[in-house]
Copies of this chain bind each other. A is one copy, B any other.
Amino acid sequence: VNKCAVVQHILKAYSKEPKREQGTFFAPSNIALCKYWGKRDTELNLPHTSSLSISLGNLGAKTTIALEQALKDRISINGKEVDEDSIFSKNLSHFLDLFRPLNSVFFRVATEVNIPIGAGLASSACGFAAVVGALDQLYGWELPLSLLSILGRLGSGSASRSFWHGFVEWQAGHDADGMDSAGACLESVWPALRIGVLIVDSEQKKLSSRIAMQNTVLTSPFYKIWPEKQARDLKDLKKAIEKQDFMALGETTESNALAMHALMLTTSPPILYSQASTLEAIDKIWHYRQLGLPLYFTQDAGPNLKLLFLEKDEEAIIKIFPKLIVVSPFNIGAFQC
């Protein structure tokens, strides 16, 4: 099954012509507490395991899309035109190929992002989600979010989780065409929860997570245990969220991230996203936790960390990490799942 077939299947009864001048959509970024690492289908970004994320509230991407009378797509980020030969442009144009009314029709895509790009803040997740949402608006499909989630997944796996606020579960699904592999939000709200983004190195990552996870699946002898670990962690996380048990949430989140990085260490050749500064930060987190501060971390395909803590400890934690970017995931007006 290829991407094009999935898009045609989803959109067969829907308009192929824009209904409006332009479409606009905001998608929050999301941080996985239970990771997405390894695809069972690399064309459709179908994962081996389900995953669970927290959206970053008002941090994310807002994209506006319109048809463009031109011979190519015009893509801008934060008002700046993006070079058409960049990998970013090529990837996005390739994705937009799935949605053109005619092959000869191009788009103007303007994205406003209020998070650092490529710093492990899931900018591609919210980016692809915002593009899909904006296309939905432009064409007037009014698809349910679960179908937008499937379309977003075709651009970037974790985009499937960026269509909701709060906690979002991406169910792995079983179908070959991935029609059962979509995000869905959990109803729980946890207003006191805070996510802290700790940038220890803002350079672009050396190895893309796409290649890293593929190498892990192919070569890590421990990967066959990963689905068990994921199933247990997902269950524990959902229970922790339901009970608002912060220690259980933090411990499981941290353990899940460390297991993902352990998988990478056993990949051939080994993958090590941590840097010296990452280990220093982890040491600091563990040191203060031993002193009684409820502070946990997670880490994605890069050296930066995302901290988990509660509102009551925000002041103390900012004193420890003065450059921390603090996010209140539920401080988004009315929460609706």
Contacts and interface: CB of A to CB of B under 8 A. Distances in A.
Interface of A: 221-222, 224-225, 228-229, 232, 254-255, 258-259, 261-263, 265-266, 268, 270, 272, 274-280, 282-283
A272 B279 contact: yes
Nearest to A233: B221
A212 to B, nearest CB: 15
A294 to B, nearest CB: 15
Nearest to A303: B279
Given A222-B259, A255-B266, 7 more contacts: A221-B228, A224-B225, A229-B266, A261-B265, A276-B277, A276-B279, A279-B279
A211 B237 CA distance: 28
Nearest to A281: B276
Please name the 8 residue pairs, one residue from A and one from B, whose CB atoms are nearest each other, closest first: A276-B276, A262-B262, A262-B265, A222-B222, A258-B265, A276-B279, A259-B266, A262-B266
Contact of A221 (B225, B268, B276): B225
A255 B275 contact: no
A283 B232 CA distance: 34
B276 A266 contact: no
Contacts of A265: 258-259, 261-262, 265
A197 to B, nearest CB: 21
B275 A279 contact: yes
A35 to B, nearest CB: 13
Nearest to A274: B279
A221 B255 CA distance: 11
A294 B279 CA distance: 27
A282 B275 CA distance: 10
Nearest to A224: B225
A261 B259 CA distance: 11
25 contacts: A221-B225, A221-B259, A222-B222, A222-B225, A222-B259, A224-B225, A229-B266, A254-B270, A255-B266, A258-B265, A258-B266, A258-B270, A259-B266, A261-B265, A262-B263, A262-B265, A262-B266, A265-B265, A272-B279, A272-B282, A274-B279, A275-B283, A276-B276, A276-B279, A278-B279
A201 to B, nearest CB: 12
Given A258-B265, A261-B265, A276 B270 contact: no
A274 to B, nearest CB: 6
Contacts of A221: 225, 228-229, 232, 259
Nearest to A280: B276
Nearest to A258: B265
A232 B266 CA distance: 14
Contacts of A274: 279
